């Protein structure tokens, strides 16, 4: 892998978003009225947004035989995301999520792990980490993330960690280990609370022993940035007409890191991240409607009219 | 479209075959243990098998934006199936079937019609039909099939018709019209019975007024070939270890037509078709494990040791 600003580790996945008339019952068929196959996976999402916002980005995920030649692969390549170190399964398909929604907005979810089993037998990508300034650990295989995070941290890389919906896959010991070896912990309201419960710590205690920053995203309520020894920084949300919240968190993390790695103030990083995620929620999909850096900066400045970069 | 032996009209589709631990309940997620994306759709199946068995084949289906650049498109092109007249939807995806099976062998089915809505506004492909010796109408849009079948029949093409699982989409009047304008009616045990019920006819009466041949496939019980004024011809099945019966019927039709269009006896056509379908059921998928003509002929001759081509 070439030199990159940000190396993202974790899932690259296909997302099937389906509107059904009704759910299938056993041994009967049901009609899917609308279906979209979207590019997804938390690591893929972070990589694509960070790349669009101007970082040099590398992405390492377990992908399957259906990935080769896919539109997703083409889009990553043509955007310039370095995918030369992807872990390829010869027999399985790429991790895939199926989300079915009925007219009453009830949902069913199916997750196919597939190629992601390859993480278990994959070595820490030391060369790729050595060539990166920062490493972001997204949802993926806990043991792989822990090993990779420890190595990156030992090499004085900036390590950020976002367990996301995979939090339940980490044992308390796992969680302590990965958090002890990261600089920034990202999570939503429930995830950060759950981590504090599991580790029997307050956020201040987390900051004493592990990361030097905890960033808690609160959806439409904005976000909070905790730094050791400082007052919590509250970041307002940027109001918008939300259509699909999926991917908002990933885009926040990508946007935050894209400015943080270019030495902006935490307030600016948070506001920019809040602004970028306001774009993502306006349309379906986690990698659609990504603003250019200029668009996001302009919208951010309009909202925080007194903010200067 | 170039000159072809067989023009196949109807669905080209993606099939997702998934083994789940359990089915998703509302607002909960479930794990997909195995998932394969397979090439499917009855018309696609017939076209691919007939092509592999040596016919020059054209295929016209409604396909979506996800078809372009897909492995399915590549495989059709590299096999030499003429797909130059495919009907392309700019906004929808290719028809897709999702089949979920749990450890108790219970199943759920989801069907996405998608691009197939384009049939409604599509003209009969007269030029393609003019350039074909025979036209096979597979599952697809009934009105499109009826119009295309009538035109082909009026041009003295050999027309075969297989309503398959779409039989319920045909009104009695529709069904009478399409059957009055075909030479060969294909169906399984239940479909032929259901057609006779709907048209209030016996198979002999069907043969008086419509097709000159009715071919009824009976799964592991073999098949029956009815011709006007002749005794019903019974074709034995070719015993094999069946793993997945999906696509057996389509491969039977393709194999039958491939020999029928080369002036073989009905007995030989039926035996060859029975043999080819015995390969298809041995593996998962409707377009996998297709024998070469020589392989199929050898297996056929081994089974009917006294048969000479």
Interval B120-177: pLDDT, tens? 999 999 999 999 999 999 999 999 999 999 999 999 999 999 999 889 899 999 999 9
Please check the confidence at residue B309 and state whether its pLDDT lies above 70.
no
pLDDT at A306: 54
Q: What is the pLDDT along chain A (309 residues), one digit of tens a residue?
A: 899 999 999 999 999 999 999 998 888 789 999 999 999 999 999 999 999 999 999 999 999 999 998 989 999 999 999 999 999 999 999 999 999 999 988 889 999 999 999 999 999 999 999 999 999 999 999 999 999 999 999 999 999 999 998 898 999 999 999 999 999 999 999 999 999 999 999 999 999 988 999 999 999 899 999 999 999 999 999 999 988 888 999 999 999 999 999 999 999 999 999 999 999 999 888 999 999 999 999 999 999 875 444
Q: Is the pTM of this model over 0.90?
A: no
pLDDT at B273: 98
Contact A35 B114 (CB under 8 A): yes
pLDDT at B27: 82
Cα–Cα distance measured from residue A216 to residue A214, given in angstroms and rounded to the nearest whole number: 6
Q: Are A258 and A53 in contact (CB under 8 A)?
A: yes
Q: Are B15 and B40 in contact (CB under 8 A)?
A: yes
Residue B9 main-chain phi, psi, to 5 deg: -115, 140
Cα–Cα distance measured from residue B272 to residue B266, given in angstroms and rounded to the nearest whole number: 10
Whole-number percent of chain B with pLDDT over 90: 86
Q: Are B216 and B223 in contact (CB under 8 A)?
A: yes
Taking the CB of residue A184, how many other CB atoms lie within 10 A of it? 22
Contact B32 A108 (CB under 8 A): no
Mean pLDDT, chain B, integer: 94
- The pLDDT tens digits for A16-47 are 999 999 998 888 789 999 999 999 999 999 99
Helix (H, G, I), strand (E, B) or coil at B80: coil
Nearest to A112 by CA among B145, B19, B80: B19
Residue B111 C-beta-side C-alpha neighbours within 13 Å:
13
Cα–Cα distance measured from residue A255 to residue A253, given in angstroms and rounded to the nearest whole number: 6
CA geometry: angle at B104 spanning B98 and B107, to 5°? 25
pLDDT at A243: 86
Look-up: residue for tokens 């990166």? Answer: A132
Catalytic hit among B105, B250, B294, B306: B250
- Terminal alpha carbon distance of chain B: 32
Rounded to 10 degrees, what is the CA torsion of A160, A165, A171, A173? 20
Q: Are B87 and B61 in contact (CB under 8 A)?
A: yes
pLDDT at B26: 85
Closest residue to A35, CB basis, from B20, B23, B93: B93
Whole-number percent of chain B with pLDDT over 70: 99
Task: Please state the rounded mean pLDDT for residues B103-117.
Answer: 92
* A232 contact B CB<8A: no
What does the DSSP assignment read for A86-144? -EE-SSSPPPEEEEEE-TT--EEEEEE-GGGGGGGGPPP-HHHHHTEEEEEE-SS-HHH
- The pLDDT tens digits for A225-253 are 999 999 999 999 999 998 888 899 999 99
Greater model confidence, B256 or B303: B256
> And the tokens for A78?
């043509």
* B78 contact A CB<8A: no
* B229 contact A CB<8A: no
Nearest to B187 by CA among B134, B223, B144, B153: B223
Closest residue to A37, CB basis, from B74, B93, B106: B93
> And the tokens for B54?
């040596």
Q: B185-206: b or e for each residue (b if 16 or more CB lie within 10 Å)?
A: bbbbeebbebbbebbebebeeb
Cα–Cα distance measured from residue A249 to residue A179, given in angstroms and rounded to the nearest whole number: 19
Counting beta carbons within 10 angstroms of the beta carbon of residue A231, is it exposed (0 to 12), middle (13 to 18) or buried (19 or more)? exposed
Whole-Å CA distances, B170 to A19, A220, B154, B198, B238: 26, 50, 21, 10, 32
Cα–Cα distance measured from residue B106 to residue B119, given in angstroms and rounded to the nearest whole number: 33
Question: Which positions of A are annotated as active-site residues?
Answer: 250
- Terminal alpha carbon distance of chain A: 32
Q: Are A227 and A213 in contact (CB under 8 A)?
A: yes
What is the radius of gyration, based on Cα positions, of chain B?
19
Q: Are B113 and B95 in contact (CB under 8 A)?
A: yes
Residue A236 main-chain phi, psi, to 5 deg: -65, 155
Contact A111 B27 (CB under 8 A): no
Contact B108 A28 (CB under 8 A): yes
Closest residue to A35, CB basis, from B74, B96, B108: B96
Told to judge if B302 belongs to the known catalytic residues of this protein, a careful annotator would answer no
* B93 contact A CB<8A: yes
> And the tokens for B50?
């007939």
Beta strands of chain A (E only): which ranges? 4-9, 13-20, 29-40, 57-60, 62-63, 87-88, 96-101, 107-112, 132-137, 158-161, 184-188, 213-217, 223-227, 233-235
| B16-30, B73-87, B250-264, range with the lowest pLDDT | B16-30
Residue of B nearest to A74 (CA): B69
């Amino acid at each position: 892998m070439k030199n990159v600003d940000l190396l993202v580790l974790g899932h690259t996945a296909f997302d099937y978003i389906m509107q059904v008339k009704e759910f299938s019952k056993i041994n009967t068929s049901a009609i899917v009225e609308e279906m979209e196959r979207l590019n997804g996976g938390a690591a893929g999402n972070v990589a694509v947004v960070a790349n669009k916002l101007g970082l040099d980005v590398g992405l390492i995920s377990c992908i399957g035989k259906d990935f080769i030649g896919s539109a997703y692969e083409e889009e990553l390549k043509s955007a310039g995301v370095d995918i030369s170190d992807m872990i390829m399964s010869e027999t399985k398909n790429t991790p895939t999520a199926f989300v079915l929604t009925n007219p009453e907005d009830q949902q069913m979810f199916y997750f196919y792990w597939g190629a992601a089993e390859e993480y278990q037998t994959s070595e820490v990508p030391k060369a790729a980490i050595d060539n990166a300034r920062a490493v972001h650990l997204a949802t993926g295989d806990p043991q792989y993330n822990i090993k990779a995070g420890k190595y990156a941290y030992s090499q004085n890389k900036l390590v950020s960690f976002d367990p996301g919906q995979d939090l339940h896959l980490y044992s308390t010991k796992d969680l302590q280990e990965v958090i002890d070896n990261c600089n920034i912990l990202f999570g939503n309201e429930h995830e950060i609370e759950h981590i504090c419960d599991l580790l029997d710590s307050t956020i201040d205690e987390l900051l004493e022993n592990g990361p030097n920053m905890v960033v808690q995203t609160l959806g439409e309520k904005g976000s909070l940035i905790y730094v050791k020894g400082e007052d919590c920084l509250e970041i307002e949300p940027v109001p918008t007409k939300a259509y699909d919240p999926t991917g908002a968190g990933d885009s926040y993390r990508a946007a935050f890191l894209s400015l943080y790695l270019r030495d902006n103030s935490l307030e600016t990083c948070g506001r920019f991240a809040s602004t970028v995620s306001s774009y993502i929620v306006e349309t379906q999909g986690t990698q659609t409607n990504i603003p250019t850096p200029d668009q996001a900066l302009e919208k951010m400045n309009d909202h925080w009219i007194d903010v200067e970069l």
